Amino acid sequence: MTKMLDSKIPEGPLAEKWTSHKNNINLVNPANKRLIDVIVVGTGLAGSSAAASLGEMGYNVKAFCFQDSPRRAHSIAAQGGINAAKNYQNDGDSVYRLFYDTVKGGDYRSREGNVHRLAEVSTNIIDQCVAQGVPFAREYGGLLDNRSFGGVQVSRTFYAKGQTGQQLLLGAYSALSRQISKGKVEMFTRHEMMDVVMVDGKCRGIIARNLVTGELERHAAHAVVLASGGYGNVFFLSTNAMGSNVSASWKAHKKGAFMANPCFTQIHPTCIPVSGEHQSKLTLMSESLRNDGRIWVPAKKEDAEAIRKGTKQAIEIAEEDRDYYLERRYPAFGNLVPRDVASRAAKERCDAGFGVNETGEAVFLDYASAIQRYGKTEGNIRGLKNPSSTEITELGKQVVKAKYGNLFDMYKQIAADDPYESPMKIYPAVHYTMGGLWVDYNLMTSVPGLYAAGEANFSDHGANRLGASALMQGLADGYFVLPYTIGDYLSQDIRTGGISTDSAEFNEAEKEVKERINHLINNNGTKPVDDFHRRLGRIMWNECGMSRNAEGLNKAIEDIRLLRAEFWADVRVPGSDDGFNPELDKAGRVADLLELGELMCKDALEREESCGGHFREEHQTPEGEALRDDEQFTFVSAWEYTGDPKEAKLHKEELRFENIELKQRSYK
């Protein structure tokens, strides 16, 4: 064990740290900004907003995305909303409360300083987005509407139907497009970052591959920002996009950036269940549905069995024979418990034999009572005298449609079942990764000049992220944090001049990339890339998913090592490396996931406690709740690459709680 990592959290009272830090860090004057180049990899909320802001400030920015347009990054798919401590609903919300909820929700494994900053800038995000023309949902009076989300007791989530991520990303994309038109950002679409380039101990550029022509390109910069998202696709089946990958982060890791808490994975409780072997990805049903929907399974095993066999329908189960298990176990928060708690509770019921689809891995999400409740209110609003129950149901459906219409349509399309008539079937699925590249308060990784923003970094969500906080963090990092903190580092570079790509370091990096591509293309194996990816996913889901134990994790590590060896010996990548070849792109990404998976299991094995999304079966209360070990594990695990994931070296960052008392998290 080496010395504790320095998070560089500024001194002073919590609420003043960010302001005083901004006042004290070095700035780069406008004329000098024109002499400095910055690369941004990824164009989701964090990447687009960072590239747009840095370009606007005057830096020369190059932005990269693997999709055909920056607007397609996976932030686009976020549904439910974005949190901000505006207290427009006058329900007692504040910056402190958002901070407190986030730290508690993260099961006390995040940094106080970072989270408070996040809560502080949350309000600016909403102002900024509205100014950009983001069409948030509004009330009849013309002011912004809010809804509530899991793990909190206030209504602070701003939304645009079930397409909030889309609207926020299009806002950031518009800001980025504006800078592209001004020539301040140069955009490289259908480009993938293949490696980072280190010169004299600093990150000074990247090797990128043009995915249309296959050409390798060298791009130099004074600093590189990775906003390349999370690594949920290590599980093969997840709510991530097909192209979402860990490669940019993993390449950085191999060049010296520490990976922090890689085992902290969020399993989202409300997704459409797996339908068969052919499945390529899973679809989320927004957490906002838990606002109004009630989750249940039959209370009697024979009813569950009958439903599984198809001899009984959900609506035939009488009210008293239903087990609303979240309301039963967690009366204070009910259906709005945090995601990790809700997911484990669903697994517990299904494991006990109460699952409600053919595979036994599904629970009901029921809107019948919400439709009645809304129908009655709407009847009153419209002044109807003694409306019939058909009228009430119809009105209720209309209200539900206005709130969640696109989600209900999506469910109907995929499941071929009408959720207005019978309850939806849902099951937990991999959704988000709290772990990621270790960064300090300035969002710089352990490599000088290499930054990580958004889901790619680890810093704000601890062991469990609250709903509607990913969008908040992505935009906070990109619009309001990184553009300031990066200046402190770049202020040393005002006299450096342009970085040359004609150097031994760039030669070497390009050569390594080329060799790896050659290997993959010429391997002449027998199995397609997906074959390996699916098998990796199965190992990860079974042994490093919703619950983990030492035996399973040890086995998973061995299985992954074998699978990785088989991949390199037997993968078949068709086509050539000098043209558009999506299979080759995928092969490179899966090769990296095969290394990451092992590190995740190692991290999960070392963390001998249960916290947030990390549930070790050996560490639970008699009631089956997660049992943290604050004495021994109040730290961030930051892993250093040493040539083999098995030999990764652990560095610790101690987490200090000066403002919040550590408590057993209770939602009862």
Q: Using CB under 8 A, which of 18, 59, 108, 136 touches another protein?
A: 136
Residues 310-349 that bind another protein (CB under 8 A): none
Kindly give the residue spans of alpha helices, DSSP state H, lying in 522-662. 529-543, 550-570, 582-606, 630-633
Give how far Cα 229 sits from Cα of 303, 477, 520, Å: 42, 13, 25
d(CA 493, CA 30): 14
Residues 509-528 that bind another protein (CB under 8 A): 526-528
Residues 26-55 that bind another protein (CB under 8 A): 49, 52-53
Task: Candidates 221-229, 259-267, 412-420, 590-598: pick the segment binding another protein (CB under 8 A).
Answer: 412-420
Angle at 201 between CA 443 and CA 652, to 5 degrees: 50
Contact flag: residue 178 with another protein (CB under 8 A): yes
Q: Using CB under 8 A, which of 21, 33, 71, 616 touches another protein?
A: 71
Do 81 and 147 form a contact (C-beta atoms < 8 A)? Answer: yes
Which of 305/583 has CB closer to another protein? 583
Taking the complex as a whole, the smallest distance from the CB of residue 418 to another protein amounts, in Å, to 14
3-state secondary structure (DSSP) of residue 490: helix
Which of 30/276 has CB closer to another protein? 276
Q: Which two tokens stand for residue 417?
A: 């079942």
d(CA 116, CA 38): 27
Do 184 and 56 form a contact (C-beta atoms < 8 A)? Answer: yes
Which of 123/492 has CB closer to another protein? 123
Contact flag: residue 361 with another protein (CB under 8 A): no
Contact flag: residue 582 with another protein (CB under 8 A): yes
Task: Candidates 139-147, 246-254, 316-324, 645-653: pick the segment binding another protein (CB under 8 A).
Answer: 139-147
Which of 243/454 has CB closer to another protein? 243
Q: Using CB under 8 A, which of 12, 351, 542, 580 touches another protein?
A: 580
Do 525 and 594 form a contact (C-beta atoms < 8 A)? Answer: no
Taking the complex as a whole, the smallest distance from the CB of residue 126 to another protein amounts, in Å, to 4
Which residue matches tokens 């007692």? 92
Residues 462-491 that bind another protein (CB under 8 A): 479-480, 483
Binding string, residues 156-175; x marks residues near another protein by CB under 8 A? ----xx-x-xxx--x--xxx
Taking the complex as a whole, the smallest distance from the CB of residue 68 to another protein amounts, in Å, to 6
Beta sheet of 259-260, edge-to-edge order: 436-437, 259-260, 635-640, 649-654
Residues 87-116 that bind another protein (CB under 8 A): 88
- Contacts for 400-405: CB closer than 8 Å, 24+ residues apart: 400/292, 400/367, 400/370, 400/371, 400/374, 403/161, 403/292, 404/161, 404/162, 404/286, 404/288, 404/289, 404/292, 405/161, 405/162
Q: Using CB under 8 A, which of 16, 27, 34, 138 touches another protein?
A: 138
Helices and strands: H and E segment counts in the chain: 20, 19
Which of 42/552 has CB closer to another protein? 42
Residues 267-286 that bind another protein (CB under 8 A): 275-276, 278-281, 283-284
d(CA 307, CA 298): 9
- Residue 451 backbone class (left: φ over 0; alpha: ψ -120 to 50; beta: rest): beta
Which of 145/303 has CB closer to another protein? 145
Measured in degrees and rounded to the nearest 5, phi and psi for residue 364 equal -90, 145
Contact flag: residue 76 with another protein (CB under 8 A): yes
Residues 235-264 that bind another protein (CB under 8 A): 239, 241-243
Q: Using CB under 8 A, which of 7, 67, 270, 637 touches another protein?
A: 67
Which of 69/664 has CB closer to another protein? 69
Do 154 and 55 form a contact (C-beta atoms < 8 A)? Answer: no
Contact flag: residue 401 with another protein (CB under 8 A): no
- Of the candidates 127, 128, 121, the one whose C-alpha atom is nearest the C-alpha of residue 95 is 121
What DSSP character marks residue 162?
B
Residues 603-642 that bind another protein (CB under 8 A): none
Task: Candidates 22-30, 93-101, 376-384, 569-577: pick the segment binding another protein (CB under 8 A).
Answer: 569-577
Q: Using CB under 8 A, which of 91, 139, 558, 647 touches another protein?
A: 139
d(CA 385, CA 622): 53
Residues 185-214 that bind another protein (CB under 8 A): 187, 189, 212
